Structure formats: C-alpha cells, structure tokens
C-alpha cells in the first residue's frame, strides 16, 4: 500500500423505482417460475422504471440522497460522472441533465460507458481527478434503466435485469482510515459479441439485448478472479486482509463459483441482487449501501470491489471505507 495522495469514498446512496416486478409476475409473461429463477440466479424481484421515468431521473434521486447524507449543496460538487449503458438520449449526456436538475452549476459533467464495470471505471477516473487536484469533490453515479433495453419475451435474459441508481462522493483522503487503496482495469474487445445491446428495436425495446449466457458466465468468473488476484498480489495483500468482497451483482451462481474457484470465503461476499437483479453499473454501490444498512459493513472496513461487463470490460478496486 502506498501513502501518496489518495481519494476517499463517502455518502453512498441508492434509488430504486417504486414499481416491483416479482418472479411470479414474470411467470405470467414468459415460460418460467419463481423456483427456476431463484435456483439459477438468486434473484427474487427487480424494480422497473415507469414509461416516463428515465435513467437521469433515477440518477438525480440517488444524487440528492448522497448530497443530503454528506450535508453538501450541489454547488459544492466540482465534477459529475455518470456511468450508464441506458441513457435516455444519445446526446446530451445523462450527467449534464443531472447537473441541471440538481443545480450543480460549478461542476463539469460527462458520461462513461463500460457496461457493468462502469462504476469501477468511473471510480478510477474520479480518483485520478482528486489526486491531480482537478476536482475537490466528484459525484460518481451508476444509473441504469435496463428494462428499456430488455426483450421481455426472451426468458433467457428478461429474468436477469432491473433498474436502479447508486452514487457516492469522492474527495481527498485526510487519513489512512478512509481511502481508495488501488484500482485495476482491463478490457478485451475480441469478446465484444458476448453481450450486445443492438441499436435496432425489437418487441418495443429501445435497442434489444443479445447475450451468450454460458460464455458470459465463464468469462465473469475468470475475469473477476483475475482482477481480484492481480490487485491483491500487486498490493502485497491476501484475501485475509479484506473484510468484504463486493462483486458485480449479476447472478448468485457466478458469485458462488467465483469464491469456490479462488478459495474466497463466501461468507465475506455481500449479495444484494435478490432485491434488485442486475442493474449493470449500479450494482456495486447498491451492494455497498445494502451492506452498510444491514450492519455488516463498518467504517474502516476494507472492501474489494470487482465487476465484469460487456466489452468485455472488467476491473477491481480496494477501498478502505
């Protein structure tokens, strides 16, 4: 671990749309049932945005909660980064809409797109801005309306996804008790076709998704395991030095296999996907928030974050919360 200038994460908050779609609800739409979905994914329900509720709406509500939690005004924010694969429009960015709606007139704002790895990619960018002095406070948001790109007639994918947003503040670390310790990013464009959201519409979707489920399953375990082991080795740490593993919340079987194949204690994993399904770039802040609210994650705990998403993109981060 190095003692150079670091950033810290604070004010983690999430927002989920009010509408809930249970597994029983899905069984009336496609040929599936609650037992099948739970046994294969661990998902029990997902939240779905209304037709007139968009990714920026979710991002705004999450951001407001984060600012309130930190007793900050929107004008205290220097930068807004939104990670999303499901913006309402191709242009302008979701981030500038958030800036306008919360009144963060002193911030510069932009989106990034790294699919389910987006929060970790955004964390790396925000951390760099803090370390370079380009920003004092960065509002980092992962927000998705996956329901708007999901083909609800395709039972292989529609059971997996939900909508939501998670956000946090990054600022300068003033002590060793709360800091971002390390971040590591990867991508492999040769495997881009494993998960694709196409521009063309299908079954009233704003761009339908196709996914090679078996290959994605294997890639997720392999990539996240690589990311975790690499970052631990490069920082002279072992899994015993970590209090909690926060993996991307895509599938409970992926998380279980990741732990089994790498000898990570499964009891160290925070799993929240049963409550919200796969919300892409929003799952990691959601899982952290869930861990804090459930009383498991404490101040000063060391968290190991890891995710893999379309691209393929993947990465890891070690954070002392």
| Active-site hit among 116, 158, 168, 223 | 116
CA 121 from chain centre, in angstroms, equals 10
DSSP secondary structure letter of residue 29: T
SS3 track for 150-187: CCCCCHHHHCCECEEEEEEEEEECCCCCCEEEEEEEEE
Cα(28)–Cα(43) distance, integer angstroms: 17
| Active-site hit among 178, 208, 248, 276 | 248
> Can 116 be counted among the known catalytic residues?
yes
| Active-site hit among 23, 251, 275, 278 | 278
The values of phi and psi at residue 121, to 5°, are -60, -45
Sign of the alpha-carbon torsion through 157, 285, 215, 194: positive
Which residues are CB-contacts of 220 (< 8 A; sequence separation ≥ 6)? Answer: 248, 250, 251, 254, 258, 308
CB 168 within 8 Å of CB 123? no
A 10 A CB-CB count for 193 gives 13
Which sequence positions are flagged as catalytic? 116, 248, 278
């Amino acid at each position: 671990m190095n003692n150079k200038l670091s950033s810290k994460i604070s004010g983690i908050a999430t927002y989920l749309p009010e509408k809930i779609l249970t597994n029983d609800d899905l069984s009336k739409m496609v040929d599936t049932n609650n037992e099948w979905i739970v046994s294969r994914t661990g998902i029990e329900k997902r939240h779905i945005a209304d037709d007139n509720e968009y990714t920026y709406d979710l991002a705004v509500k999450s951001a407001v909660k984060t600012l309130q939690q930190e007793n900050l005004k929107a004008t205290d924010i220097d930068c807004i980064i939104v990670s999303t694969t499901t913006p309402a429009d191709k242009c302008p960015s979701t981030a500038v809409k958030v800036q306008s709606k919360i009144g963060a007139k002193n911030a510069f704002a932009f989106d990034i797109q790294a699919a389910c790895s987006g929060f970790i990619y955004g964390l790396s960018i925000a951390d760099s801005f803090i370390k370079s002095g380009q920003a004092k406070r960065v509002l980092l948001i992962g927000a998705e309306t996956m329901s708007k790109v999901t083909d609800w007639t395709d039972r292989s994918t529609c059971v997996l996804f939900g909508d939501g947003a998670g956000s946090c503040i990054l600022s300068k670390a003033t002590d060793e008790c709360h800091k971002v310790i390390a971040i590591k990013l990867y991508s492999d464009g040769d495997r881009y076709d494993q998960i694709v959201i196409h521009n063309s519409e299908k079954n009233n979707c704003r761009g339908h998704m196709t996914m090679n489920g078996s290959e994605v399953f294997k890639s997720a375990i392999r990539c996240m395991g690589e990311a975790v082991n690499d970052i631990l080795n490069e920082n002279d740490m072992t899994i015993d030095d970590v209090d909690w593993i926060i993996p991307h919340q895509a599938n409970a079987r992926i998380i279980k296999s990741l732990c089994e194949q790498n000898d990570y204690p499964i009891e160290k994993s925070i799993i929240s996907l049963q409550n919200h399904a796969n919300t892409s770039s929003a799952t990691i802040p959601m899982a952290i928030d869930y861990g804090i609210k459930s009383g498991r994650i404490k101040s000063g705990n060391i968290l190991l974050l890891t995710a893999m998403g379309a691209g393929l993109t993947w990465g890891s981060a070690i954070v002392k919360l």
